[in-house]
Chains A and B, each alone.
Chain A
Amino acid sequence: MTIAFYVASAVALFATLMVVTRRNPVHAVLYLMVSLLAVAVVFFTLGAHFAAALEVIIYAGAIIVLFVFMIMLLNIGPPPSTRQESLLLTPGIWVGPSALSVLLAGLFLYVILAGGRSVQAGSYVDAKTVGISMFEIYFLGVELASMILLAGLVGAYHLGKRDLPDEAEGGNG
């Protein structure tokens, strides 16, 4: 368990450094996803299994996909199709994130197979406890979270409109 924590921490730090230093946004997004997966493994080793699942589902699954959509929508990075597709097949692009992901997957398997069910009986906080506490003590926070999600939805809908009135100078920035 301890070794898994340190390896996942190293992967998270390395991947995060790669995010900040990449030139191509798609590479940065790939490394960001690896970084989030590594943090999910860290959560798992700390006994926060529910948080680990949420990290994978919401962060790596939803938020990163939003970033990818935006990059595709803006069509930035190396231009058109065939050249770009042949570029995607060169190993230099995907070998880094893939190697790190395989390392994380191996770590995950190791934790599950070696750790078993007996590890850290005391410190493990399961989803049931989290849910009970969330809807009893923190239910006001849940309501506020729904409000902020609604605000985000309305804001994104308004700003994402194609024919938003062009305010005066438009593109002279």
Chain B
Amino acid sequence: MTSVPMDHGLLLAGLLFAVGLAGVLVRRNILYVLMSLEIMMNSAALAFVVAGARWSQPDGQIVFIFIVTVAAAEVAVGLALVYQMFKRMKTLDADAASLMRG
């Protein structure tokens, strides 16, 4: 265990997650929503690494690697969707895509 208390690491993860969540809820530009999602994923990964460091086990870092993998796949598909949305609607406003057809 390092000299940093585990609580403080988890607190940092929680605060970062809260900021990311606020970003998802408040911002209407879909690019910012994606960035906030990245922040939230990163904070979740931070919580795993903190727990792994607490017990000196490699599992935390392994879950971190998996989370990074998922985030990379998510951002690739998400940005492709943003591209399609911008091409069709000429805007990045998430509310513009609120209509469903069918």
- A45–B2 contact, CB under 8 A? yes
- Given the interface pairs A13-B16, A20-B26, A46-B2, the reply to whether A123 lies near B56 with Cβ below 8 Å is yes
A112 within 8 A of B: no
The answer to whether B1 and A122 have CB atoms under 8 Å apart is yes
B68-89 CB mask vs A (1 if < 8 Å, else 0) is: 1111111111011111101011
Cβ contact of B49, chosen from A12, A17, A46, cutoff 8 A: A46
Q: Which residues of A contact B39 (CB under 8 A)?
A: 16, 19-20, 32, 35
* Contact across chains for B3 and A63 when beta carbons are under 8 A apart: no
- A74, B72: Cβ atoms under 8 Å? no
* Chain B residues, Cβ within 8 Å of A90: none
* Contact across chains for B53 and A123 when beta carbons are under 8 A apart: yes
Interface of A is mostly: helix
Q: Does A43 contact B (CB under 8 A)?
A: yes
> Which residue in A48, A138, A173 is a CB contact (below 8 Å) of B88?
A173
A149 touching B72 by the CB < 8 A rule? yes
Establish whether residues A70 and B32, one from each chain, have CB atoms under 8 Å apart when the complex forms: no
Query: Nearest Cβ distance between residue A137 and chain B, in whole angstroms?
Result: 8
Secondary structure at the B interface, as helix, strand, loop or mixed, is helix
A62 — which chain B residues lie within 8 A by C-beta?
A: 72
Q: Are B32 and A28 in contact (CB under 8 A)?
A: yes
Q: Are A16 and B19 in contact (CB-based, < 8 A)?
A: yes
Question: Which partner residue on chain A sits nearest B99 by CB separation?
Answer: A173
The residues in B between 42 and 82 inclusive whose CB is less than 8 angstroms from any CB of A are 42, 46, 49-50, 52-53, 56-62, 64-66, 68-77, 79-82
Q: Which residue of A lies closest to B92 (CB)?
A: A76
User: What is the minimal beta-carbon distance from B42 to any residue of chain A, in angstroms?
Assistant: 6
Cross-chain contact of A70 among B31, B50, B88 (Cβ < 8 A):
B31
Confirm or deny: A106 has a beta carbon within 8 angstroms of a beta carbon on chain B. no
In the bound complex, residues from chain A placing their C-beta under 8 Å from that of B80 are 155-156, 158-160
Residues of A whose CB lies within 8 Å of any CB of B are 1-2, 5-6, 9, 12-13, 16-17, 19-20, 25, 28-29, 32, 35-36, 39, 42-43, 45-48, 50-51, 54-55, 58-59, 62-63, 66-67, 70-71, 73-74, 76, 120, 122-125, 129-130, 132-134, 138, 141, 145, 148-149, 151-153, 155-156, 158-160, 164, 166-173
Give 9 A-B contacts (CB < 8 Å), ordered by A residue. A25-B31, A28-B32, A35-B42, A46-B50, A67-B75, A125-B52, A152-B73, A156-B79, A156-B80
